[in-house]
Amino acid sequence: MVNITSKTYTLRKAIASAIVKVSKQETILAIQNKTVPKGDVFEMAKAAGLLGVKKTPDLLPDCHPLPIEFTSVRYAINNLEIQIEVEVHTIYKTGVEVEAMHGASVVALTMYDMLKPIDKGIEISSIKLVEKRGGKSDFKEKFINRKDLRAAVIVCSDTISAGQKEDLAGKAIIEKLKMSGVEIGMYEIIPDEKEIIQKKLNEVYSQKFNLIIYTGGTGLSVRDITPESIIPLLDRRVPGIEEAIRNYGQDRTPYAMLSRSVAGVKGDMLVLALPGSTNGARESMDAIFPQVLHIFGVLKGNRHD
């Protein structure tokens, strides 16, 4: 199965449809009047559809088991066609479009099975996905041209700046930013020293960057001073971003509780301080990107030009 461990829980919805076409009006009347020999077609097919949605991962090998939190089966009759619509909701890390289509298929097959004794000309057609919502793609800011966003990535490390170690965390951050459509305007490696960290923040701010991301110096060692260096320069902390990073990390490692990641704003610039480990930096970016880009629409709306 596809690895979804890096994804986050979001509300996801899908609607699928199918069409069952009968060959005569008498079949439609039998359904409506509940005189079909095998029983109430709509209710039986609905029950089968609910089971079909739940059993999807049992039958399709690559589907992830997931919690089904809502399923609706709806019908509409149009001449000799019975239009089926199945809607499925979950709060999980992957979508439910296959579950919805499988449910619609099972509803249609159940109707076929129940109606075949009285109608030999039944057809099933147009099983398709009608709508899919949820996941990170739905939380990309629609009214912000993300190509206008420019970021600086600053690696705070004495050993890396001295050439004793290769930077991997900064490169992981850059990779995620590029996937989110953000331009990388600066990438530098500096010692984890207060004056240098603060000078770099002010320099990036003066050059009208939208985003600066520090990586490194957020541990508990007395030498890890990045948070203490940048917090005094912030206009405001954004604790929700910090909480999202830590919560995401805690689901993956018990040591995330020790993280001192910082998020805040200086003017219209978002400032982030992330862990210096490669996994810590990558997971922090997975936790908040691209949805954190919504903040630039908020900051733009708060400006008083």
193: its two tokens: 């020293």
Q: How many Cα atoms occupy the beta-carbon half-sphere of 4 within 13 Å?
A: 16
Q: How many Cα atoms occupy the beta-carbon half-sphere of 100 within 13 Å?
A: 28
76 close to 83: Cβ distance less than 8 angstroms: yes
Instruction: Give residues with Cβ within 8 angstroms of 51, minimum separation 6.
Output: 106
DSSP 180-222: TT-EEEEEEEE-S-HHHHHHHHHHHHHTT-SEEEEES--SSST
274 close to 280: Cβ distance less than 8 angstroms: yes
Q: Where are the alpha helices (DSSP H) in 34-92?
A: 41-54, 56-59
- What is the three-class DSSP state of 177? helix
- From 40, 58, 62, 113, the catalytic residue: 113
DSSP 21-33: E-SSHHHHHHHHH
What whole-number distance in Å separates Cα of residue 263 and Cα of residue 265?
Answer: 7
86 close to 73: Cβ distance less than 8 angstroms: yes
The answer to whether 113 is a known catalytic residue is yes
Active site residues: 113
